[in-house]
Amino acid sequence: MIKLLKAGFFRLKKDIIFWLFIFLTIGIAFFTLLRYMSIEGIKLDRVINEFIMYIGLFIAIFVSIFIGKEHSEGIIRNKIIVGHSRVSIYLSNLIISIIVSLICELIYILIADLIGIPIFGKMQMSISQFAITLLDTALVIISFCSIFNFIVMICSEITVSTTICIILFIAMYVVQGALSLTANTDKYLTHTFTDENGITHIVSQEPDPNYPGDEKVKQARMFYLLIPQGQAMEIGNTDSEYLYKMPIYSVSLIIIINFIGICIFSRKELK
């Protein structure tokens, strides 16, 4: 495993996709800061959590091309010939993808902090909120890496795997949007007003006639939180009630995806 990781990181130094991932991360960090500078009332909390909503696409492209080359160039077959186990090969590629993706997320957060604090002020979230947000962010990134690594490791054609990964990311984005409408539906219609002091008061509360039902809401919420893109959207909301629940869904998804991936790759016939 150590030799595989060393070889993988050595490849990274010369890999264009890796450096493109880094430079795009830096570019998006500056673009996000510039975009929010002209908007009043924006908190640093929102700026810091912005990148997690897009990083899945970059992970899809990086993993599908960087690891896909191992199939197309016969590197995986050569690794097996020299005695490396398929489990070690699968996990080493996953670990490299995770480390690269976490480094990019860290770069974004550092830039957002260093430049954003003088502009937007310090973060408003508590230490516990910041800690759970970081944990959720890391687990979402690991989930993305697990899903895309699974696809690339079982699909030998780099063009096909890249296309599938990108389409899957877009599909997850669309599905989470559809599920969120049901998952975040309130059971009651609440009428409020805000006084001159900015305090919100509830005037009345009545059952929503369009409420889909507790069972449908529960199911939609479960699938919504199982999708990494759904979790990524919730991370941007530091007041989300799901922040402390998401690690359970992420860890479950990571374990299941990688278990299935290792089982399939272990039996896969390599060209």
Within a domain: 181 = no
Residue 241, pLDDT > 70, answer yes
Question: pLDDT band at residue 247, thresholds of 50, 70 and 90?
Answer: very high
> How confident is the model over 213-224, as a mean pLDDT?
80
Within a domain: 179 = no
pLDDT at 141: 96
Within a domain: 190 = no
Its domain, for residue 62, covers: 2-172+231-267
pLDDT (tens digit, 9 = 90+) per residue, 158-202? 899 999 999 999 999 898 888 887 777 776 666 565 655 555 655
pLDDT (tens digit, 9 = 90+) per residue, 115-169? 888 888 887 888 888 888 899 999 999 999 999 999 999 988 889 999 999 999 9
Into how many domains does the chain fold? 1
pLDDT at 214: 72
Q: Which residues contact 249 (CB under 8 A, 6 or more apart)?
A: 222, 225, 226, 231
Within a domain: 136 = yes
Rounded to two decimals, the pTM is: 0.88
Within a domain: 52 = yes
Within a domain: 13 = yes
The single-letter code of the amino acid at 208 is D
